[in-house]
Homo-oligomer: A and B are copies of this chain.
Amino acid sequence: MSTSQSKTVIDHRICFVGDSFVQGTGDPLCLGWAGRVAQDAVARGVNLTHYNLGIRRDTSRDIAARWQQECAVRLPADCEALVVFSFGVNDTSIFKGVQRVSEEESLTNFQNILSTSSSSYKVLVIGPPPMPDSAHNRRVAQLDKQFTELAATLNVPYLSVFEVLRKDEHWLKEAIANDFAHPGRRGYERLAGLMQDWSEWCFSTTNG
C-alpha cells in the first residue's frame, strides 16, 4: 500500500519476537512493553495487528530456529510488515555452571537473524534489559555493546535500553520483588516509553 494513504487504512502487522521480556512475564496487565506500544498506536488511530512471539527462556539460538516460520504465517505479502526482535539476557545466563550461549555464538545468531530478516521485512531491535545480578549484568552489558556495533554494520536500527533501565527507579526494584528477573507494571511501562520516544519506531510519539 502507498504511504500516501491514511494511516488508518494501511494494514500494519507487527511480530514481536524474543524472550520472556517480550512476552511480558510478570506484568499484571498481561501486555508487556509490546502490548503497551501496540495499544498506544491503536489509541492514536493506527490500524495495527500485533503478534507477541516472546517465549520464556528463549536464547538467540532458539529464536534463530523459529522466527522465520512463525513470522511467515503472520505477515502476508500485502500488509505493511514489521518485525521487532529482542533477546540476549538468556544467552548470558549461567545454567548448570555454563553460559547458555557463548558470546561468539550470540553474535553469529544475531548477524544471521538480522541479515536474513531485514532482507524480507522492516526490522527493529530492542537490546536486552538489565537483571538484578551484577555478574550477569556485566555479561549483558558487554553483549549489548557488541549487538549495538553489529546492528550498525548491518544497518538495522537498534535501541539500547540496558543503561537507562539499570538506573530506572522501578525496573530492578520490581524485578527483585517479583522473581529476580522480570519487572512489573512500571518497568514495562518505562520500556514501552523508551520505544515510543525512539524515532525509529514507526509510531513514535516524537514523529508526531
A interface residue numbers (CB < 8 A to B) = 13, 23, 25, 28-31, 35, 38-39, 42-43, 49-52, 55-57, 62, 66, 69-70, 73-74, 76
Number of copies of this protein chain within its complex: 2
In the complex, A57→B77 CA distance in Å? 13
Q: A179 to nearest B CB, angstroms?
A: 9
| A203 to B98 CA separation, bound complex (whole angstroms) | 38
Nearest first, the 6 A-B pairs at minimum CB distance are A30-B39, A30-B38, A30-B35, A55-B74, A28-B42, A52-B52
Query: Within 8 Å CB of A38, what residues of B?
Result: 30
Kindly state the separation between the CA atoms of A51 and B17 in the bound complex, as whole angstroms: 12
User: Which of B23, B42, B73 is the one whose CB lies under 8 Å from A55?
Assistant: B73
Known A-B contacts A55-B73, A55-B74; A50 and B62 likewise in contact (beta carbons under 8 Å): no
A35 cross-chain contacts in B, Cβ below 8 A? 30-31, 35
Instruction: Please measure, in the bound complex, the distance between the C-alpha atom of A55 and the C-alpha atom of B15, giving whole angstroms.
Output: 11
The residue that A43 contacts in the complex, of B28, B42, B70, with Cβ under 8 A, is B28
Contacting residues, chain B, for A57 (C-beta < 8 A): 76
Contact (Cβ within 8 A) B73 A66: yes
21 pairs of residues in contact across A and B, judged by CB atoms under 8 Å: A23-B49, A23-B51, A25-B49, A28-B42, A28-B43, A29-B39, A30-B31, A30-B38, A30-B42, A30-B50, A31-B31, A31-B35, A35-B35, A49-B56, A52-B52, A55-B73, A55-B74, A56-B74, A62-B73, A69-B69, A70-B70
How far is the CB of A168 from the nearest CB of chain B, in Å? 23
Closest B residue to A35 by CB, please name it: B30
A74 to B35, CA, bound (A): 19
